[in-house]
Structure 1
């Protein structure tokens, strides 16, 4: 904003300048707060029945978006070009997941059965003191852990 320290006649006017600057600062803070959406890392099992799990990942991501969170769901990307049955590629994908998890402010865990990979991601989230939200497969929230 171009708040001028001088009035329209060219005289120094610090009171008006300070008032308009404060108003502008408050408006910017309100806009920023209104635009904030948490990044939610969606954690779920992908190994096993990959096709069904990818469909579930899509459903969970849509749910997160509808709840005004930005879904971070690498399980929708990596199976397209990486083989989950190849241990080296699986470990590489898990490393990618941990990096992306670091960009999230919350972790959303879906489903009742916790796989080995999910347990590792949840452990990383706990270590980073991230907010963890637990959901059933039917998208019902069952708990929260800070």
Structure 2
């Protein structure tokens, strides 16, 4: 099971925020991860109103974060302490998941889809397209014959490299893992092709990361498939 660091505010109404953290932990546990919310623990013996003890708590929390598999940022109002945790996670390539309050309220479960993507999840014929700034599906064998990979490992944003151009002499593709932000030098043949927008949407709903390019692709797909209101009236 994954160890998930619960990132939420503490300062302000401390008692209320601690209670909210307990609710976030219960939600995360229902999704099948092991939640860890430091300020539900440290506040038992550290006083957040005392600067030295607050600093000690923040330092201890960051050390715990380094040992977690991912960080769950709860809501979209970030305190100073939360921003520090998010910055550390980004620097350490720890996956950052952004959880809306609505997910918690309605019990919408994330992190349920682990099956690695395949060629069937790609746009047909995309293995002959330009890969630059596209989200690609990595072949499982790229990790080695005995590696066990999941959907977390499947999607990569191609940044640059001669291998991005189909038929180019070079093979190198520099890509960023969509979940963790880890950068790796792959080769063109390591990828099945470009992920289809509908599968990207399903992946994003299960792994709510913040990625501008992924959102741009989804927005373009929505515009492409939406029917203009006037057109819709004419069809009726």
Superposition TM-score, scaled by structure 1 size: 0.71
Query: What is the Cα-based RMSD across aligned positions, in Å?
Result: 1.6
In the other structure, the counterpart of 2:200 is none
Deviations 1:11-68 (A, max 9, x none): xxxxxxxxxxxxxxxxxxxxxxxxxx11000000011101110110000001111111
Which structure's relative contact order is higher, taking Cα pairs within 8 Å and 6+ residues apart?
1
In the other structure, the counterpart of 2:125 is none
In the other structure, the counterpart of 1:59 is 23
Deviations 1:95-130 (A, max 9, x none): 100111011011000022100000000000000011
In the other structure, the counterpart of 2:13 is 49
Q: Which of 87, 93, 115 in structure 2 is aligned with 1:129?
A: 93
In the other structure, the counterpart of 1:94 is 58
Distance 2:41 2:71 in 1: 18
Aligned residue runs from structure 1 range 79-90, under 5 A: 79-90=43-54
SS at match of 2:68: coil
SS at match of 2:209: strand
Distance 1:59 1:91 in 2: 25
Q: Structure 1: any 5+ residue segments left out of the alignment?
A: 1-36
Q: Is the 8 A contact 1:131 1:145 kept in 2?
A: no
Q: Structure 2: any 5+ residue segments left out of the alignment?
A: 111-204, 212-236
Aligned residue runs from structure 1 range 1-146, under 5 A: 37-138=1-102, 139=104, 143-145=208-210
Distance 1:136 1:51 in 2: 21
Q: Aligned pair in 2 of structure 1 residues 145, 104: CA closer, same or farther (>3 Å)?
A: farther
Larger Rg: 1
Distance 2:89 2:210 in 1: 10
Aligned length: 110
In the other structure, the counterpart of 1:31 is none
Distance 1:122 1:67 in 2: 21
